[in-house]
């Protein structure tokens, strides 16, 4: 209650009290009025003044209670992260703030061909699961799932060396579960890392991957030739005037293909980390990234032992065009792409005669354009192509040779943090022997962020 309002109410009470006293005086018969003493009249006025004073004290106590309640509400909001000046987050000791984030998402996916019973390829686009030949002659598949739903925790703590940041995030694309009764699937680790100053340690997107250049698709798998990988690593980021450069050592994992029954397809014995260098440039024309990777393939099964070095490069760009629209580009090339590209090409082959590891070239990329029809309605179109140069004479004719994909979608955000959309996906898989298979898919997504 404002002081002006209270002053006005006080004046009204005083005037009302005097008016009441006057009316009482006038209501007394003249003969009796002459008999009343001045002392009685003063006592009446004093009693009225005391009443007004009591009311004033009560109003002051009420006003003070309202102020204290408001202060308490503000303090509680700050503790619970509702202070916009602090950026949100739950206040913890040592100046640490913690915030929860994530989303709930329902996907409804219809495919004109099924990737097979229980295959994750029916729930997200996995290029290597597209049926070919006789396997492509089926009636399709419809599935509803919420496995992409995500939960994450972020913290930030001020230190003498800069901010200490941590992040933990997971979704439900882990193993286990089924669609028979509960549709329960395992919680899967996505990110778990800490960052102090320029040094990052833990699991997150590979430094070889530019996650910001991924196109916006309702499908969780993304374009056929995407670089899409998270793994444990140590990374140093050094800023400069136009961006930053990064260098990282990351978890090695050799994936081999072989026709030799004595050679393992998933050998043990990796000894050297995958090493990545990357530069990020921010210009008036857009964001550009160049990355290079050096890695070693190894086999050692107690019978044969060999190793081979391989490398790859990746270029990506996000270019603003008109209004809020943007163009996104990606190009990958090298003999070390293997598991880094979503095509699922083997990293290398084992020669069945010499038992040596032999590398081969793979390449791919995509072009994507996102257009905003209105502030709340947008569309993305993305075409992707990938291929492998299977020139080793012992590679099986059933090996994957080419992949293509096309995503077209329409997404509506009726309110902030809500995305409702529909998407069409066409994809094609071709084998070395000429067999191929096509996939046509319609997917709707209902995503609610927090």
How many domains are there within the chain?
A: 2
Question: Do 200 and 249 have their domain in common?
Answer: yes
Judge whether 120 and 219 are in contact, CB under 8 Å. no
85: left (phi over 0), alpha (psi -120 to 50) or beta: alpha
**Res 376 pLDDT > 70:** yes
Q: Which domain holds residue 132?
A: 94-449
Instruction: Output the average pLDDT for the chain.
Output: 87
Name the 3-class secondary structure at 298.
Answer: strand
Question: Do 55 and 130 have their domain in common?
Answer: no
Cα gap 216→382, rounded to integer Å: 9
Half-sphere exposure of 15 (CA within 13 A, CB side): 6
Q: CA quadruple 88, 90, 96, 102: dihedral positive or negative?
A: negative
Q: Which of 25, 46, 79 is the last residue of a domain?
A: 79
pLDDT band of 9, cuts 50, 70, 90: low
Cα gap 364→427, rounded to integer Å: 14
Question: Do 230 and 264 have their domain in common?
Answer: yes
Question: Do 395 and 308 have their domain in common?
Answer: yes
| CATH assignment at residue 398 | 2.40.160.10
pLDDT given at position 300: 84
Question: Do 60 and 132 have their domain in common?
Answer: no
pLDDT given at position 178: 82
Question: Do 194 and 67 have their domain in common?
Answer: no
Residue 317 within a domain: yes
Name the 3-class secondary structure at 128.
Answer: helix
Buried b (16+ CB within 10 A) or exposed e, 229-253: bbbebebebeeeeeebebebbbebe
Question: Do 302 and 229 have their domain in common?
Answer: yes
pLDDT given at position 243: 97
Q: Which of 79, 106, 128 is the last residue of a domain?
A: 79
**Res 323 pLDDT > 70:** yes
Q: Which of 28, 49, 79 is the last residue of a domain?
A: 79
Residue 370 within a domain: yes
Question: Do 66 and 134 have their domain in common?
Answer: no
pLDDT given at position 296: 97
pTM: 0.79
Task: Residue 410: name the closest of 423, 393, 391 by CA.
Answer: 423
Residue 205 within a domain: yes
Tell me the pLDDT tens digit for each residue of 268-285: 679 999 999 999 999 999
Question: Do 44 and 181 have their domain in common?
Answer: no
Cα gap 291→314, rounded to integer Å: 5
Judge whether 130 and 113 are in contact, CB under 8 Å. yes
pLDDT given at position 44: 73
Judge whether 314 and 330 are in contact, CB under 8 Å. yes
């Amino acid at each position: 209650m404002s002081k002006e309002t209270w002053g006005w109410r006080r004046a009204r009470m005083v005037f009302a009290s005097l008016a009441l006293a006057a009316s009482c005086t006038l209501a007394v018969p003249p003969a009796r009025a002459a008999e009343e003493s001045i002392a009685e009249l003063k006592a009446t006025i004093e009693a009225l003044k005391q009443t007004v004073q009591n009311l004033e004290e009560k109003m002051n106590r009420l006003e003070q209670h309202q102020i204290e309640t408001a202060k308490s509400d503000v303090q509680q909001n700050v503790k619970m992260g509702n202070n916009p000046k602090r950026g949100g987050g739950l206040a913890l000791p040592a100046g640490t703030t913690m915030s929860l984030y994530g989303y709930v998402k329902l996907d409804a996916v219809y495919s004109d061909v099924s990737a097979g019973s229980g295959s994750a390829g029916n729930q997200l686009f996995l290029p290597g699961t597209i049926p070919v030949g006789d396997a492509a002659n089926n009636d399709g598949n419809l599935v509803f799932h919420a496995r992409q739903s995500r939960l994450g925790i972020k913290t930030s703590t001020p230190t003498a060396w800069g901010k200490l940041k941590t992040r933990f995030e997971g979704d439900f694309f882990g193993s286990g579960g089924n669609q028979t009764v509960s549709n329960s699937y395992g919680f899967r680790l996505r990110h778990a890392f800490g960052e102090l100053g320029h040094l990052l340690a833990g699991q997150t997107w590979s430094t070889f991957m530019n996650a910001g250049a991924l196109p916006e698709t309702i499908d969780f798998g993304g374009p056929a030739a995407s670089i899409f990988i998270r793994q444990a690593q140590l990374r140093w980021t050094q800023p400069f005037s136009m961006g930053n450069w990064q260098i990282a050592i990351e978890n090695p994992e050799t994936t081999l293909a072989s026709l030799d029954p004595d050679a393992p397809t998933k050998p043990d014995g990796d000894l050297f980390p995958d090493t990545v260098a990357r530069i990020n440039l921010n210009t008036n024309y857009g964001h550009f990234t160049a990355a290079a990777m050096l890695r070693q393939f190894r086999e050692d099964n107690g019978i044969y032992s060999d190793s081979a070095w391989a490398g790859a490069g990746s270029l990506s760009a996000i270019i603003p065009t008109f209004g809020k629209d943007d163009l996104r580009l990606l190009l990958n090339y090298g003999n070390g792409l293997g598991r880094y590209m979503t095509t699922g090409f083997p990293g290398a082959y084992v020669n069945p005669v010499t038992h040596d590891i032999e590398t081969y070239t793979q390449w791919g990329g995509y072009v994507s354009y996102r257009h905003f029809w209105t502030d709340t309605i947008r569309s993305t179109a993305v075409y992707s192509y990938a291929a492998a140069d299977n020139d080793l004479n012992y590679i099986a004719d059933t090996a994957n040779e080419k992949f293509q994909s096309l995503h077209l979608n329409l997404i509506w955000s009726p309110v902030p943090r809500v995305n409702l959309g529909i998407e069409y996906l066409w994809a094609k898989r071709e084998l070395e022997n000429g067999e191929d298979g096509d996939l046509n898919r319609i997917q709707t997504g209902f995503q609610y962020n927090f």
